Chain A
Amino acid sequence: MSSRYAIPLLAALTLVILVVLGKLLPAWCVFLLVTAFAKGLAALGLVLIIRSGLLSFGQGLFYCAGGYGAGLFMLWGGVHDAALLVLAGGLVALVLGAVIAPLLAGYRSIFFATLTLALSMLAHGALTKADFLGGSDGLNLRPPSFIGFQPANSTESVYALYVFACILVVVFSLACRVHFNSVRGLLSLAVRDNEIRVEYLGSSVRRVISENFTAAAFLGGIGGALNAIAVAHIDPELAFWTTSGEFVFVAILSGYLSVAAVFASSIALEFIRSFSSQYFPNAWQMSLGIFMLASILFLPNGIGGLLQRRKKRMKGNKPA
């Protein structure tokens, strides 16, 4: 089989498996997966930025922009279709990202990280004061429809949401995988290694960073919109630094080598949080902290690094 079709085929297969799996799992578990996918999409965006050697501490800004974009499109625009809402959320974040990106592209390391953090906290502060948007209490959304299909009960609506989320995840994972293997995608890694060399080759580092940042904003917006539809509530907390911190954690846990690892990390985080808050309602934050420490100590390259190593080892074992 030619490797050109291998990745799309694998994506299609994953989608089928995920959709079938959703039918077998209980509804609470399916819902947890939907929120994990929403956060995973935003973290996937962050991985795009990390590939060029930068860390954004403000991915929550776009998560929030996507959430409010989709939410207000529903409340003010009267649109209920999930696909349109998510697209609207993604586009709002994309526009915002495209405006900010050129400003940030000149900064590196801690300056880049703190500027992104500052921008997201600015949005958080402004939304908290915006009484017409419900202030810090936020706004309630209504249940969405799915291309004309209106779920009749809670189980149906969670499953419909899940299938929709799976499609988003597979489509954007596929797009990122293709991008990672492309010349443009590999250029990001080159920027990480040596910016001067990239400039000398005739490429613009600023442009690579701007593009990655804008694409990350779009993914953040898609994730935020998906989360808004699933939770049916939007509030300024989406832009708070703890939300951004969560994406950073997922991105670090997954590493930048694998797309699947991003979602695996996001799911792991959601499940650990859910079960630790069930079993240790007084110490669930501590269990999360221990998990974070353990993963940094034992998996410095993230889950993605682990998968990559296994792949390499398998290749190495083959007779030349």
Chain B
Amino acid sequence: MRSAFWRVLGLASCLAVANFLAPPAPAQEKDKVFKLGIVTFTSGPGAESFGTPGWNAAKRLIEAFNRGGELPAPYDKIGFGGRKVEVSVIDESGGTTKQVQELRNAFDRDNFDAIIGYISSSNCLAAAPVAEEMKKLLILFDCGTPRIFEDREYQYVFRNSSHATMDNVAIVRYLQKRKIKLATAAGINPDYAYGRDNWKDFIQSLQKVLGTKTGSELWPKFGAGQYGTEISALLQTNPSIIHTSLWGGDLQAFILQAAPRGLFKNRLVAIMAGDHVLHPLGKRMPEGVIIGARGVGGPFAKQSALNDWLVASTQKHEPGVLPSQAHYRMTQSVLGLKSAVEKAMAANGNKRPTTEQIAAALRGLEWDTPSGKIKMALGNGHQAIQANAIGVTKWDQKLNRMIVTDVEVFAAECVNPPAGIKSEDWIAQGFPGAKCD
């Protein structure tokens, strides 16, 4: 028995050794493909709501690129500038130490040309300096913290989607524009940096704009699943508006437990990222809830050839499912990379561009996506801003699904800080330089 164990272990280590002693693929073979890695949750609580949808979106998009001509112009060229794209997934779970190891392996051992990834802000923060040190292209896609490009400058790291500040500022702008009167505001947010940052952004903006008083702040543990006590507390303090940045299974559980107890009646509830639970909850999602989708995606997406393609491709593989936040943010990240590679190639005489050339092309770039135009306006052209939309849920009998009504779309420059000012200070100073119509 024991020797069998060692034989297996021996075999496994031989395989492992053979793996990295194997001669690297011939240079020509390597030049032909663009190796793209996607880091996202394939396990754990983030997988169902963001990880798997994000990976599916990336995979389908790349498959369509490799067949070529399926997407509308300017995305109709094969692969990235004629080069086929080889895409694989890396699991984001396991903590920052593991993620840093994996990122180094990905660039150093597996020779990825670029990585798009990270849902968790702590993983984004840990991964960014590593890519910078290794001089490799890293595109962050979903994490929210504005700290990344506000605390440091990068040459090789980008975020092709907005940070979380606009998600909360947009809700306040919505309340302001719709002239909704509020006496007190309460918050129920997950007890970690993401939840705390969201609440801070929301309540500070709200106090600035409407002068609303703060009611209770509730901090359930991430993954708590049971919100009975919090719901009682909220019912007792009876605030005019409840803000939440709960997400995924937590958000679903909260809604399912709060709705029968009447929390959604006679009071506003604002969910800063709520579109991803509309499909799983179906009719059990209450009407009249203010939701955002972290961009003009999901139910807010405007009709366009690109969006039609995304909706059709999602429904082909997942019947009945409308693409949501993760699909949109991943799609815009991949489209941004494709645009940058092709722009860099054109500037390089149609030859394979270097990482530096791709980074230079992506810096300050603007491109069209299913969620509208993305502009790399912040962090020296490394951090995107995009428009945001807020609306109210309503059941549509004909479509047999939840839709959004009373939608307000806010321009990117209205809900995102201008370059050169930290989000926190921008809110504290009363949104200087915001351009709203």
Q: Which residues of B contact A131 (CB under 8 A)?
A: 196
Q: Mark B116-129, 1 if CB is under 8 A from A, else 0.
A: 00000110011011
- Indicate if B177 sits at the interface (CB-CB under 8 A): no
Tell me, rounded to whole Å, the shortest Cβ–Cβ distance linking A62 to chain B.
Answer: 16
Chain A residues within 8 Å of B96, by CB: 138, 231, 233, 235, 237
Q: Which of B97, B126, B147 has the most CB of A within 10 A?
A: B97
- A residues within 8 A CB of B191? 128-129
Contact (Cβ within 8 A) A294 B133: no
The A contact surface, by secondary structure, is: helix
CB neighbors of B among A135-159 (8 A): 135-138, 140, 143, 154, 157
> Does A138 contact B91, Cβ atoms closer than 8 Å?
no
Q: Give the complex CA separation of A273 and B91 in angstroms.
A: 12
**How distant is the Cα of A136 from the Cα of B219 in the complex, in angstroms?**
14
Q: Determine if B91 and A281 form an interchain contact, defined as CB atoms under 8 angstroms apart.
A: yes
A270, closest chain B residue (CB): B101
B29 in the interface (beta carbon within 8 A): no
**From A280, which residue of chain B is reached at the shortest CB distance?**
B91
Cross-chain contact B196 with A233 (CB below 8 angstroms): no
Question: Cβ of B152: which chain A residues have Cβ within 8 Å of it?
Answer: 140
Residues of chain A lying within 8 A (CB to CB) of residue B43:
282, 285
Q: How far is the CA of A227 from the CA of B97 in the complex (A)?
A: 8
Tell me if A14 is interfacial: C-beta within 8 Å of chain B: no
Q: Is the CB of B100 within 8 A of A154?
A: no
B281 within 8 A of A: no
Please, how many angstroms separate the alpha-carbon atoms of A285 and B96 in the complex?
A: 16
Residue of B nearest to A231 (CB): B100
CB proximity of B193 to chain A, nearest CB, Å: 4
The reply to whether B101 and A35 contact each other, CB–CB distance below 8 Å, is yes
A27 touches B108 (CB 8 A): yes
Inter-subunit contact A138/B122 (CB<8 Å): yes
Mark contacts of B124-154 with chain A using CB atoms, 8 A cut-off: 1 yes-contact digit, 0 otherwise.
0110111001110000000001010001100
Decide if B110 is an interface residue (CB 8 Å cutoff): yes
Contact A281 B89, beta carbon cutoff 8 Å:
yes
**Which residues of A lie under 8 Å from residue B12 when comparing CB positions?**
272
Contact with B along A229-256 (1 / 0, CB 8 A): 0111101010010110000000000000
The yes or no answer to B105 lying at the interface (CB within 8 A) is yes
Bound together, the chains give a CA A201 to CA B85 distance in angstroms of 72
Asked whether any CB of chain A lies closer than 8 Å to the CB of B407, the reply is no
What total count of A-B pairs have CB within 8 Å? 121
* CB atoms of A243 and B20 under 8 A apart: no
Q: A274 and B125: CB pair below 8 A?
A: no
With a CB–CB cut-off of 8 A, which chain A residues contact B13? 271
One of B1, B2, B93, B129 near A140 (C-beta < 8 A): B129
- Contact of B32 with A by CB under 8 A: no
A242: which B residues are within 8 A, CB to CB? 95
Closest B residue to A27 using CB positions = B108
For A235, the chain B residues whose CB sits under 8 A away are 96, 122, 126
Q: Which of B363-384 contact A (CB under 8 A)?
A: none
Find out whether the CB atom of B2 lies under 8 angstroms from the CB atom of A298: yes
Contacts of B121 in A (CB 8 A): 137
Decide if B16 touches A275 in the complex (CB within 8 Å). yes
**Contact in complex: A32, B101 (CB < 8 Å):** yes
> Is the pair A154, B135 in contact by a Cβ cutoff of 8 Å?
yes
**A172 adjacent to chain B (CB < 8 Å):** no
Q: Which residue of B lies closest to A275 (CB)?
A: B16
- CA separation between A157 and B104, bound complex, in Å? 13
Q: Which B residue's beta carbon lies closest to that of A288?
A: B94
A68 at the B interface (CB under 8 A): no
**CB–CB B104/A28 < 8 A:** yes
A29 at the interface (CB under 8 A from B): yes
Pairs A-B, 5 closest by C-beta atoms: A136-B192, A233-B126, A28-B108, A135-B193, A137-B193
Q: Which residues of B contact A (CB under 8 A)?
A: 1-2, 4-5, 8, 12-13, 16, 19-20, 42-43, 88-91, 93-98, 100-102, 104-105, 107-110, 121-122, 125-126, 128-130, 133-135, 145, 147, 151-152, 191-194, 196
Q: A230-B100, A298-B2 are in contact. List 4 more A-B contacts (CB 8 A).
A: A28-B105, A232-B130, A274-B105, A282-B42
